[in-house]
Structure 1
Amino acid sequence: MTTSYQVMTIPTNIEDRNYQDRILQDVSRTFALTIPQLPPSLYPVIGNAYLLCRIVDTVEDDNGLSSEQTRKFTDMFIRVVSGEIPAEAFAEALYPLLSTHTIPAEHDLIKNTPAVIRITHSFNATQRNALERCVRIMGQGMADYQDCESLAGLKDLAALDRYCYHVAGVVGEMLTELFSDYSDEIGRNKQTLMALSVSFGQGLQMTNILKDIWEDRKRGACWLPQDIFREQGFDLADLRPGISDPRFHQGLAVLIGIAKAHLRNALTYTCMIPSKEAGIRRFCLWALGMAVLTLNKINRNRNFDEGNQVKISRQSVKATVLLTSLLARQDWALEKVFAWTSRQLPEVDILGKKV
């Protein structure tokens, strides 16, 4: 039976909107920078979508929760978003169980889940459906992968593709759904954009995986695909911080090249957004530009042993923002900038074979 939570459109209030704006600043400087570039009608829903995903991520990452608790709260939150159960029940049950591993801003976010959900339930049916689908696929997929976390790595590149879809590709699909709902002109290319959006998400996620190799290992996880490194003669079981094995570095090069190929698709996606929608283009371009710069740092320093060593500087972020904003409407210029900034990255086709 469909509950009243599902069918009602709940008016949002200024306190909830102010909270959403504030907590975005606290949980993600990057998204707090990019989301305001969006058109005013998209800014609230995409900001809310990010917070929903961040709540799922908080549940999955808190090492104080058992596997059973993680799955329980993930399933519970999926039902909260779809309106089957009240958000207060979720927040009151989870908040006291969070560990110090979870940052204070995320503690605050969980405590104030009802405010976030009130905003979620204020959107139109198409927007709510897109958010609900994303949270459901992401939550179920991340819970499944948490059960098989280990230092052995993922079985193969196909497993990495599936993981990236659950944590990032589905977000690209959600954004495309929201963009298409916002603009009929964007919606005319929806089918093509949907496929490219999954690739866009994978490029960003692979960049994060490569940057966070050593931080992930500290908590017992490795998202690198075994087959890519086995082809180079390297066993991920032998992976240690500070390793200088050229076989491992060559495996990294293949993954960097695959990420680059996905980011090239991200540029194609961005250029399919009408040039008059400069705000949406900036939203995409800033994430794309920072990912390319991060891949460059990883590529130049393949023996890094902590993420801070390959983190791009604030100056680089500012330069990316300035340049892509100036060129946001000019496809030919964006193509040239991508080619120039990624010229030193390995060339690998989307299947992971060198070309």
Structure 2
Amino acid sequence: MPDTIVTTTTLDDTRYQDHILQGVSRTFALTIPQLPPTLRAVIGNAYLLCRIVDTVEDDSALTPEQTHKFATMFTEVVSGNVAADVFAQTLSPLLSDHTIPAEHDLIRNTSTVIRITHSFNPVQRQALERCIRIMSQGMAAYQEEASLSGLENMAAMDLYCYHVAGVVGEMLTELFCDYSPEINQHKSTLMELSVSFGQGLQMTNILKDIWEDRKRGACWLPRDVFLKEGFDLNELQPEYPEPGFHNGLGTLIGTARSHLWNAMIYTSLIPSHETGIRRFCLWAIGMAVLTLNKINRRRDFTIGQQVKISRRSVKATILITSLLARQDWALKKIFTVASRNLPAIRIVEQ
């Protein structure tokens, strides 16, 4: 990591970051402001860095070679070895209408985001750089191998989830521990649980986005789970629901639930007086559990919109978890009740 870069952010940079967060993610635009002020800027910035990587991976107009090139290039931008303007000016004209307008805007303003990145302390920058490096390498590799056949097995799904979400959990934990010596006392346990936390959220997204991913020619489900139920993912069609596919979904729903329980344990290790960090975690867990419930009740869904939780459910999650953010016993009880109809699957360590 270059130590010679000294960057001063401006009020305009900060305003842009706050503004673009609203455009690229309503969920994170809601949760990040709950964090303590000293964490908001760095975690908001971290999310935007990850979103840039996602944009490179998701745009169908880019060839696998271009995806790999820009993912690698962005890693060097974050490290300070390549100018952000060069990255933005090269990538921006290649993006298609598949990329939403807010993400087009984010790419064009990469230099603004990076100025903020380079203003953080060495521990924060190292955490961000490591996350983006691992995420970029993993996403580019998986993009080249994407197919409708799915991933080989559950271990491959675990590894995929690590590259796109588990490493984010590790980064957040590094930032939380840098912020608070009290949190840092539990660092080793938190780091272990953070990967599971990330996987629970990512598995929920994978299940919700099954059909949208297939339209893009990708499937992130593990073949072995469905083959055990007598179903081949190559045969998957939304018009022809198969019991074997629904049973496989049940296994993955239960696995995701187990990871989200670990996320609850993670949250309980955050000091109870750090209610902002706890809300940041709890809102994500609560919305994921509600989404899993909708998927479980309607395993024959054909578009993600059918299992999207309502704004009313989001508001209820925010209200309940905020009121009880300090009460570990109550939070765990609510989780148990809210997930009582989900399959119970024990996570087997690979």
Q: If the TM-score is normalised by the length of the shorter chain, which range does it land in? A: over 0.9
CA RMSD of aligned residues (A): 0.9
For residue 102 of structure 1, the aligned residue among 76, 99, 104 is: 99
1:11, CA displacement in angstroms? 1.6
Q: Which residue of 2 aligns with 1:147?
A: 144
State the distance in 2 between where 1:167 and 1:181 align.
22
Paired amino acid for 2:159: R
Task: Map 1:22-61 to 2 at 5 A.
Answer: 22-61=19-58
State the distance in 2 between where 1:189 and 1:35 align.
22
Q: Which residue of 2 aligns with 1:323?
A: 320
Q: Which residue of 1 aligns with 2:263?
A: 266
Structure 2 residue 13 is the aligned partner of structure 1 residue 16: yes
State the distance in 2 between where 1:49 and 1:203 align.
20
- For the residue of structure 2 that corresponds to 1:7, the secondary structure is coil
For residue 68 of structure 2, the aligned residue among 45, 48, 71 is: 71
Q: Deviations over 1:175-231 (max 9, x none)?
A: 000000000000010010001000000000000000000000001000010000011
For residue 279 of structure 1, the aligned residue among 276, 279, 300 is: 276
Q: Which residue of 2 aligns with 1:249?
A: 246
1:243, CA displacement in angstroms? 3.1
Structure 2 residue 318 is the aligned partner of structure 1 residue 335: no
Q: Which residue of 2 aligns with 1:289?
A: 286
State the distance in 2 between where 1:26 and 1:79 align.
25
Q: Deviations over 1:300-333 (max 9, x none)?
A: 0000000000000000000000000000000000
State the distance in 2 between where 1:323 and 1:7 align.
47
Q: Decide whether the 8 Å contact of 1:9 with 1:124 is kept in 2.
A: no
1:351, CA displacement in angstroms? 2.1
For residue 113 of structure 2, the aligned residue among 109, 116, 126 is: 116
1:10, CA displacement in angstroms? 1.1
Q: Decide whether the 8 Å contact of 1:228 with 1:254 is kept in 2.
A: yes
For residue 133 of structure 2, the aligned residue among 119, 133, 136 is: 136
State the distance in 1 between where 2:111 and 2:302 align.
40
Q: Deviations over 1:17-53 (max 9, x none)?
A: 0000000000000000000000000000000000000
- For the residue of structure 2 that corresponds to 1:100, the secondary structure is coil
Structure 2 residue 302 is the aligned partner of structure 1 residue 301: no
Moved over 6 A (4+): none
Task: Map 1:222-241 to 2 at 5 A.
Answer: 222-241=219-238
Q: Deviations over 1:106-165 (max 9, x none)?
A: 000000000000000000000000000000000000000001000000000000000000
Q: Decide whether the 8 Å contact of 1:59 with 1:74 is kept in 2.
A: yes
Segments of 5+ residues of structure 2 without an aligned counterpart are none
Q: Which residue of 2 aligns with 1:219?
A: 216
For residue 81 of structure 1, the aligned residue among 78, 82, 95 is: 78
Q: Decide whether the 8 Å contact of 1:242 with 1:303 is kept in 2.
A: no
- For the residue of structure 1 that corresponds to 2:38, the secondary structure is coil
Paired amino acid for 2:198: G
TM-score by length of 1: 0.97
TM-score by length of 2: 0.99
Structure 2 residue 200 is the aligned partner of structure 1 residue 203: yes
Paired amino acid for 1:239: L
Q: Decide whether the 8 Å contact of 1:137 with 1:166 is kept in 2.
A: yes
1:9, CA displacement in angstroms? 3.2
Q: Decide whether the 8 Å contact of 1:56 with 1:139 is kept in 2.
A: yes
1:244, CA displacement in angstroms? 2.4
Q: Decide whether the 8 Å contact of 1:243 with 1:303 is kept in 2.
A: no
Identity, in percent, stands at: 69
Q: Decide whether the 8 Å contact of 2:5 with 2:80 is kept in 1.
A: no
State the distance in 2 between where 1:150 and 1:245 align.
20
Paired amino acid for 1:136: R
State the distance in 2 between where 1:59 and 1:335 align.
38
Q: Which residue of 2 aligns with 1:162?
A: 159
State the distance in 2 between where 1:329 and 1:35 align.
18
Q: Decide whether the 8 Å contact of 1:257 with 1:345 is kept in 2.
A: yes
Q: Decide whether the 8 Å contact of 1:164 with 1:205 is kept in 2.
A: yes
Q: Decide whether the 8 Å contact of 1:131 with 1:174 is kept in 2.
A: yes
- For the residue of structure 1 that corresponds to 2:259, the secondary structure is helix
Q: Decide whether the 8 Å contact of 2:275 with 2:326 is kept in 1.
A: yes
Paired amino acid for 1:283: F
State the distance in 2 between where 1:85 and 1:282 align.
36
State the distance in 1 between where 2:220 and 2:242 align.
19
State the distance in 1 between where 2:62 and 2:83 align.
21
1:8, CA displacement in angstroms? 2.5
Q: Which residue of 1 aligns with 2:180?
A: 183
Structure 2 residue 96 is the aligned partner of structure 1 residue 126: no
- For the residue of structure 1 that corresponds to 2:231, the secondary structure is coil
1:61, CA displacement in angstroms? 0.7
